[in-house]
Amino acid sequence: MLELNPGSELLGRYVIDRVIGVGGYGAVWKALDKQLNRTVALKRLLKSGAARDEQAQKAMLEEAKKNALVVHPNVVQVYDIIQVDDEHLIVMEYVDGDSLHAHLRELALSSRSVSLEQAVDWLREILEGVAYAHGQRVCHRDLSPMNILLSTGGVPKISDFGIARIIPSKDVAVTPSPPASSQGGTGNPDYMAPEQARGEAADFLSDLFMIGICGYLLLTGRHPFAHPSGLFAIPELLKDESYQPPQPPPPAGLAISDQRRFREYAAVVMRLLGRERANRYQNAQEAIDALDRVIPSVDCPSCGEHVPEHDRFCRHCGVTLAPVPGPAAQEPATVVSGAVSAEELADEGYRLVQAKRWQQAIDAYSKAIQADPNYRKAYWNLGYVYNRIGNPDAAIQILDKGLDLPPSGRDYRAGMFYERSIALASLKRYERALADINESVRLNPDSARSLYFRARISLLQGDLDAALRDARDVLRIVPDHSAALRIIDQISKGSTG
């Protein structure tokens, strides 16, 4: 039988440090990956329940391998699955912080709460991680504050895809999951969606309900199904179709403007908590868009991060924000006789992007290209929109056409290479993505966002030296670029074990 002890070594590669967590599915150990010189977490799978059956265990491990495809800043990455002495361990990203559950408990014990801005930021980032996982057809089924880790930099990361399920496309038959009671724990009973509590199969909308519980906790510090009388158990009220959590009132002491914002954010959370699937947002992006409509937001022109449009400085990289004409600068456009010009159509597309009216923006940019097939700004911005709504194939197709045009203006080509690199990376085509971002950097060597994205790709490919070099170049341009600092910190901690 495999024994793990501090200082022991697995496969000549992983040096065990200490236990950092114990749960129903096994223990998690901190370890050093000697080959890549980085700190990792090793999760040991228990031989119990479904794992007793060899076929079920194989299916579980296959799903874990598919979970490794979920590479996103707000998801704990699965690096590998190893087998030692007939036991399987999952090699994962090591997150150097507590769980959201531990953080909320600490605040509650001292009668403190998460600030409104922090609560919404974390809720949005959790939704972004789930949106990406769902885009890879991965349904978590066990989202709770215990399975959301907070890095020391304050970045939430969704962990524990141990019971995740791969949901095929709609044209593929789906075999319903057995009832929760027969599966040995398909989720935490205090955080299950109502359909899970009834023994039905969990799906993407079940994940959204669980995020709704987390969002309620972030806004109020209370579980929405914890009755104030203390006379009811949480699972009891989750199953009670007549019970609906009260919409939380704004905390005392909030400014009037913040009270309005709180109510609007609370309304988003309450919709996530709809008892019936049809009453919830139908995907995570809809919930993200609803949060963004409370305070309109823009993408920082330096680091590309999402920030409220009224902010004077980017909260991620510190750069001074100023009004910008759009993802691309102005370019002379041909006016079609008797029709609206391509430039006017592109400007309308930009206004629609700011309002998050994505399909109408796509229509406007497409009409701009029809009005002037050589109008490069429209190709660039249309590729940007397709990336924002999670359609990388469409982004690549339109950017291919834009880049096939005769070269005219370094900024336009640099921007199109940048957007195509993002699309390729989202499809895990890292070699092509790296080639495109290299070209974008060549055309615009002082672009902090291009250098930062190249650092991220290098990090994903395990080229730590290249990632470190680009992150430092980003700091040369934007000294307080927090995302670049996080990359350097991550590499540094990995190198020190």
Q: Residues with catalytic annotation? A: 142
Separation CA 433–CA 442 (nearest Å): 14
Q: Are 376 and 416 in contact (CB under 8 A)?
A: yes
Distance CA 64, CA 67 (A): 5
| Closest to 127 measured CA to CA, from 448, 390, 345 | 390
Asked if 205 contacts 280 with a C-beta cutoff of 8 angstroms, the reply is yes
Residues 246, 223: Cα–Cα separation, whole Å:
11
β-bridge partners, 150: 156
The span from the CA of 287 to the CA of 296, in Å, is 14
Rounded Cα gap, residues 247 and 270, in angstroms: 7
Residue 286 — φ and ψ, nearest 5°?
A: -60, -40
Tokens of 347: 């400007």
Q: What is the 3-state secondary structure (H, E, C) of the chain?
A: CCCCCCCCEECCCEEEEEEEEEECCEEEEEEEECCCCEEEEEEECCCCHHHHCHHHHHHHHHHHHHHCCCCCCCECCEEEEEEECCEEEEEEECCCCCEHHHHHHHHHHCCCCCCHHHHHHHHHHHHHHHHHHHHCCEECCCCCHHHEEECCCCCEEECCCCCCEECCCCCCCCCCCCCHHHCCCCCCCCCCCHHHHCCCCCCHHHHHHHHHHHHHHHHHCCCCCCCCCCCCCHHHHHHCCCCCCCCCCCCCCCCHHHHHHHHHHHHHHHHHCCCCHHHCCCCHHHHHHHHHHHCCEEECCCCCCEEECCCCECCCCCCECCCCCCCCCCCCCCCCCCCCCHHHHHHHHHHHHHCCCHHHHHHHHHHHHHHCCCCHHHHHHHHHHHHHCCCHHHHHHHHHHHHHCCCCCHHHHHHHHHHHHHHHHHCCCHHHHHHHHHHHHHHCCCCHHHHHHHHHHHHHCCCHHHHHHHHHHHHHHCCCCHHHHHHHHHHHHHHHC
